[in-house]
Structures are given as structure tokens and as C-alpha cells.
Structure 1
């Protein structure tokens, strides 16, 4: 938009430490969820490791996070050159904001921790107060910055950031926002998981949702957050279409009747999905299709015979005579004679 507005947040460390990816993600999520800011068209970010999450945003923001519904917004992620602070507009803004606004706060000692400022000779600067005291003072100064007109040589031509923003609002500008959960889900890697009984396993836990109970395929894509411990997981089908939001399954005691009820409900949902799918499939008469296919085939017309064999029975050297089939009475008499002959032979061997 080019209004010169700035979104800031403050982080206090009780012990030694520094800003990490989770901190930056939370601040970014708060900004894109605010109707006065929303999703930017471009992110010009530092090369520090605490900005590593932006590598996931480069692709995810192209469609305002695949799997979530809403208007698209193409966003480019641009990394600055290493060790080139003068080329970063935000560095110049920090210097200006510190010299014109933060320096007016009692107890301010600037960003140089080695320079111990003194209120008077031999007396160091007294602290402003607690962190909770400093937060409202800082944001009060930030609101003052947004309201104070800039110099005529600046990019805002003598107007304040709020005045420029008001002009854009008057001409119809509106933000495209995202919820905090959707931003967290966008900073995620897609992992393939197998669905068993309406659930999948990730990070040692089973996750499920009602959409998975009705899912009729074996594999899904799970958007696993890289920097957060998830309470919910976005689940996509293998084509990248949204299925639902999965939550951890609750482990129940084997004697708890709720476990059996849940299993039965999942089985019913799965069967219902299969029945509904079967209803959507048109009925096909396979036999009729095969008959129609056969009847539609053209007949193959053979070539004319190359010759014809003729047979005159009078010229045959011999004839084949089929044996006469005996009648039933003759066959029984012959079988009886054979049995009697066999018995007589047996008697002769025994006697003789």
C-alpha cells in the first residue's frame, strides 16, 4: 500500500535467549489477522535463522494456504542480502523511530549496550520501570508516529501514515486476512500418512476427524507444523483438497463403553460413505453390454476357397464297418458266463 505504517510487538526474556521462529510467526499471524493490515503482497525479510519459516510461506501464500477456503493472494518472499543493513528500509525506520520517539522515554539508553548513558555526572540512567510499564508507553509512541506528518521530502509527501491509510480506505481498500491457526498451518510440511479405522498416527499420537471416518482411501496428506506443537492438524487428500481438521484421539480404558461407541460410530460412518458411493455409481448390465458389443462387430468375409475335395464312395478301396452294439440281454449273459468261468478256474486251482 505504501502508507508507511508499521506493525510491532514486544517480547521480554526472563533469561538469556533470543527471538525464534515461533515468536516471529506469532507476530506475523497477529498482523495478517488484523483488518487494517492483512496479508502483504510481498515479504522482504532478513536472512537470520529466526525467519526460516518464510520459506514455507513462499508457496503456501500463493493460494492463501492450500486447503483453507478464501480469496487468493499471491505473495512474494524476498530475502535481503547478508550483512547489508543500510539497504533494509526497516533498519532506517528503526533509527528514525529511536531518535525521534524512543529517545524521549525516561531511562532510554539506546541500542548500544556498551554505551552506559548517564543522567548526570556519576549517576547512571534510572530504569523506566517494569516490562509491563514499558509496553503501553511503546505503543503510545508508535501511534504518535502514525499520526505525525512526515517531511515534504519523504515518500509520504508531508502526510502522516494514518492520513495515507485513510485515503486508501476511502477509495475502497480492504484487507485479506487469515486467522492465527491458518497461518500456523501454512508453516507446515506435508507428510503422507495411512488411514486406519478413520485415524492416522503422527508424533506418537492418533489423530482423527469425522471426515476421515467417511474417507474411503488409504492415504492422506497431513500438514504438520514445523515450529509449533499442534493441537489440530489440517488433513488433505492425495490431490491436495481439504478433508478436515484432525484432533488427537482420546485414549479410553478397555472397559469404558465410550470406546466401543466411538468405534461403532466410525464403522457406521464408513459403511454409510461406501453405500452412498455405491448409489452414485450407475448400474451397468454387463451381459447386455457384451451382447451389444458382439452384435456391433462387423462380419469377416473370407476369401473364395482355393479348391474343393470330392469323394466317390465307389472308388474307395475299403469301407469302415462299425461293430454292432450288443443288446442288453446278450451283454448280461456274457458277463454271467465270464463270472462262472472265473469261479471254475479258481476251484480247479484249489483242488488240483
Structure 2
């Protein structure tokens, strides 16, 4: 209410100043104003100033008697003198306001009474009489240039007024130091701020950076022989925060993830993809507790494929056992085959996946995708390492957390250290049903989620299932057995004593031919036995070699059976062989010798070659040794003699016992 200010002929700011002074016992115009401060709208921090009407000077009370201010029955009337903050108008609004105020006065001649009356009539809060007179004069002098009604640009606009801080500059100049060096200290302040923001100090916040810069400034001032009080070497928060962008240097060196999250990126319009033209693969660790059959609890893993052209999600769940750490290659392959088998999905034209080792096997489908793609793009693409923003499926996972998993029983939240609990001190209750019920509920909730319209982005206003239904897409199918065999690892092994060694494990099959090299196919499934291509036959399963306990007849029976099969196989091979005549071949080769070959010269006697005095002694010794061998018993006679001696010894040992 401007009544008091208008009645007294002062501004509202002056009226507020008089009221504040009255609270300290200072009289205003000979009257002791009764002022109260209450909480309410307006004023600094919501404080409101009110002056009791009856405490004002009598002249002002008479002036206000003709206004709407009146005394109710027994209630004292107060005038609100709290100044209202006025918004700062733009340059154009200011020119328009002033032009509207002075235009009536410009219609009258300069210096006329009519102009003076018109100017006085334009006076209003914020536009004093002297201000209007000055603008009218300047506007006419500038030949009605509208820019003269706007705010004037200061003469020192764009120039630096504060070098280090107001306190520093004042103390520096008051200390009698060279003012020409003040810009140097301002530049030094800026350099120190940039350097400390680029250091590890930025991790503790701007206050730590300010502390370090102020300390460094005091050290450099002391080295330069400049003594300033500690209270003078202070920096404002505004000056410190002005160069906080240099913290990016430290983040790039020590927190690459934070730097990567904030770097410049582009946006893509994935609505231009056709359905199944690209699928994005990723693995999500679910924040839901599920009970295993043995009673233990596990957080399931979800292998998801997102269709970039529709934002649909195909999910495959893995419930790791106690000895499993997470998702393996075989799980990803099984999820991929399950997607291809789905009649609404089928084979994609392009796979976008991260660099996890569990996705390695999917790179082998590149030749297959190259045959069906029509876009000419790379069919297997790997995302940039450690860059979650480069995978569009990550944002979809966040939406599933809010709309699907957080609505289910057993949800523990994303922060395992602050798990969702039904009550303090109690553990989170797991999902109350089994694996099958969990999968069914998740799929049902995802289907309901995909029936809802997307809020933003290129797909805004359309639901994923609506987009897919309108596309008329038909899945690209493939023989699933062939696809399953595609992921097998092929190798060759040599059969050794009826067995094949694969990764340190020996495998057997009754029809394995000894010594032959055969083809082996090892499945991507850990629980599947390898296959062997029987020569002349089909593929067959290999069985791991079985160990038998000592003394058990099963091992001997199995060995006898295998040896019998080996003999039968050899007989069958012999019957299939053609008859051969080695003697005939030899006679044919002998008949070809029509001309007798010359006899080679006999070599010189060894004694002549050695030409040594010991030759006769060596020859005599070899001759004596040969005669001794001829005259002595043969090896058979020696063995029979040993056996007879052993028999006599055993009979002499048993003879006393029989007696």
C-alpha cells in the first residue's frame, strides 16, 4: 500500500527507512511511530512491516482520512509499507514505458505550462518528476532517437573492475603498493584457480579450491615482500565458480566414467529402422530376490534383445546356480535361438552388443546375417567399451525397473546397501513363487508396459506393440537344428586305443576305429556330450571314459567286449580287402633286370683302414667273445633253469608245513 508514502510525499523506500528507525526509538517528523514486524508476503525473508495509523503525524492522518483506510470497530488500522520488488524490465519494455509516459508532454511546446502539467501527470512509482523532465529533454535533443530512452552503456563497460577481490584490491592499494602490479595479481589468481580446479582438490568442492588458492596467493605475496592481512586475501564464490569447468581435466585423468557421461553426444532417430533391422543385446542383473529349489536365494539375470525399430523387448531369464558367477556364452546362444524361434521376432539383420565375453559366440553368425541383410550395413556391431550411453537399451532398462520390476514382490531396489525392507531389522522377503511363475509374471508385465505409449523421443505417442502391428513385419525363419549346430566347435582327433581326448577328458564309442583321425563337434552346452563322425557312418554321441574299481568284474567284461568288437572290426576290414601277391611283384621286378649290374668293389679290410698295433688284440677279443656265446647256454635254457630253481625253492619251503 503506497498510501503513507504518497501522503507524506516520499518514496516507499524512505517510508520503510523511517519505520525501521522508529523500531530503534528514533522519532520521525516529531512522531513516535508504532511499527510491528510480522511474517507474511513481501519483504526480505517474508517479513512484513506495518505502521499503526493513529501513530502517524496528524497532517498525514488527515490526508489519509479520505482514502479507503478506516478504523473498524475496536481494531487499529495499519498501513503496510513493505517495499515490493519490481521486476527489471528489458531494454525494449523500458523504452516503450518511457515513450508512453512522455508522449502526452511532447505534444505541447517546450517550456509551456501545458507541458509541465502533462509531465507532472505522468509521475508514478519508479518515474520521478525530475527523471521524466530529463528524458523529455534528452529525447528532443537527440532528434527523437528512441535509443536515448534506453539504459546507457557504462563508460567502463567490459572492463575489469575487480582484479583479485574487493577486499584484496582495497587492502593492496591502501598498503601503498604499486597499482600497476594489481592486474598481475589478478591474472595470477585466475591461473591458480584454473590449476586447482584441474587438480584433485576439485573433488572436495569449490570451498576446498578456494582455500588452496587463497593459501597459494598468500605464499606468493610473502615471497614478493607484500604484507597483507589474512582477511584481505579472500575470494568470492562467484570468482571461484567462474572457472569450475577446468575440473574436467581431473575427471578425464582419474574418473573417465564421469567424464564420458558428460561429453558431447549426438542423437539418433531409431524410428527410421524397420522392425528387426537391428536388435540391441545386453544383460541386466535383476534387483529381485527369487528362491532356488534348494531354498537358497538368487538374483536372476535377464538377457534382453531390444528391437531398435519398435522398442519391443525379447527377454530370456537365467537363474544361476551356486557355482555359477553369472551369464555364460551358452546362455546368450540359447537366448538368441529362442528369439529366432519366436514367430514375432525371427532372425535379425544386425546385432548391436557390448564387448562382454559372453557375447563372443554371436560373432560367428555374421556370415549368416550378411546373406539376409538388405541395408548393406555392418551386421555385427560392438558398442564402445565402458560407455553406457552408447547403448540405447540402457535407458529402456531404467524404464523397466520403474514400471515392471519395482512393482513385483521380492524387489530390493537398485542399491543393495539400502535394500527395500518390509520392516527395519528384517530381511527382504523373496519372490513367493517359483521360477516359472516369476518368468510368466515378468512377461505379462512387460507386455502391458509395451502397450503404453512412449512419452518422448522419436517414438513419442506410439506404443511398441502398436508400431509393430502397423509395420506388417514377417519374421525371417531358419532351421533351428542347423542354427544350433552352427554354434558348435569343430575339430579333429586321432583315436588312441579306442578313445579320444578332448580338453583333458577321454571319450569312447564302440565304433571308433583305432589309429584313425575323426571329426569331432563340441556343443556350446556344457552338459552336452561331444559328437563324432563315424567313418562311413553318421554322427554319434561320445561317452566319457568310465573308471572301474579294482577287483570288479565289470571292467574286465567291458574290456573283453571292446576287444571283441576290435577283432570283429579287423576281420570285417580284412574281408573287404583285395587279394595281393607280393611274390608276383618281386618276380616282375626281377624280370626287368635285363642287363646285369656291375659288381661293386669290395671295401678295404678294416685292419688296413685302422692300421693300429691294437687291431690284432681287438680282433682276438671279438672272436673269443663270439665263441663263448656259441658254447654257452641259450636264453631259453637260462630261463628254464631259473624256473626250475624257483620251483625247488618253493617245494623246500612248503615241505615242512605238509609234515
- TM normalised by structure 2 equals 0.31
Give how far 1:266 is off. Answer: 8.0
Query: RMSD between aligned alpha carbons?
Result: 4.4
**Residue 316 (structure 2) aligns with:** 9
**1:33 equivalenced with 2:333 (yes/no):** no
- Displacement of 1:30: 1.7
If asked which structure has higher relative contact order (CA below 8 Å, sep 6+), I would say 1
- Give 1:1-352 correspondences, 5 Å limit: 1=275, 2-15=309-322, 17-55=325-363, 57=364, 60-63=365-368, 72-73=371-372, 76-119=379-422, 126-132=429-435, 133-151=437-455, 153-168=456-471, 170=472, 173-179=474-480, 182-193=482-493, 201-203=500-502, 204-206=506-508, 221-225=519-523, 228-231=526-529, 233=531, 245-248=539-542, 254-255=560-561, 259=565, 263=569
Q: 1:38 to 1:195 in 2, by over 3 A?
A: farther
Gaps of 5+ in 1: 65-70, 238-242, 275-352
| Cα distance in 1 between the residues matched to 2:414 and 2:469 | 33
Paired residues of 2:340 and 2:346 also in contact (CA < 8 A): yes
Go from structure 1 to structure 2 and tell me whether the alpha carbon gap of 1:47 and 1:227 turns closer, same or farther (over 3 Å shift).
farther
Change (3 A) 1:112 1:194: same
Q: 1:32 to 1:147 in 2, by over 3 A?
A: same
Tell me, in whole angstroms, the C-alpha distance in 1 between the residues paired with 2:571 and 2:367: 38
Corresponding residue for residue 72 of structure 2: none
Structure 2 segments unaligned to the other structure (5+ residues): 1-274, 276-308, 546-557, 579-659
Distance across 1 between alignment mates of 2:531 and 2:448: 41
- Matched position secondary structure for 2:417: coil
CA 191–14 in structure 1, closer or farther in 2 if over 3 Å, else same: closer
- What secondary structure sits across from 1:176 in the alignment? coil
Provide closer, same or farther for how the CA distance between residues 232 and 123 of structure 1 changes in structure 2, counting only shifts above 3 A.
Answer: closer
Q: Specify which structure has the higher proportion of helix.
A: 2
- Cα 1:188–1:260 change in 2 (3 A) is closer
Number of corresponding residues: 247
Inter-CA distance 85–109: structure 2 relative to 1 (3 Å threshold): same
- Deviations along 1:156-178, one digit per CA (max 9) or x if unpaired, are 4533222232234x36x232234
Aligned-pair CA distance for 1:51 = 2.3
Do the aligned residues in 2 keep the contact of 1:221 with 1:235 (CA within 8 Å)? yes
Cα distance in 2 for partners of 1:178, 1:189 equals: 19
Going from structure 1 to structure 2, the CA distance change for 1:124 and 1:259 (only over 3 Å counts) comes to closer
Contact 2:355 2:383 survives alignment (8 Å): yes
CA distance in 2, matches of 1:76, 1:186: 17
Scaled by the length of structure 1, the TM-score of the pair is: 0.54
* Structure index of larger Rg: 2
Question: In the superposition, relative to structure 1, how do residues 91 and 267 fare at CA in structure 2: closer, same or farther (>3 Å)?
Answer: farther
Tell me how far 1:62 sits from its aligned partner: 1.0
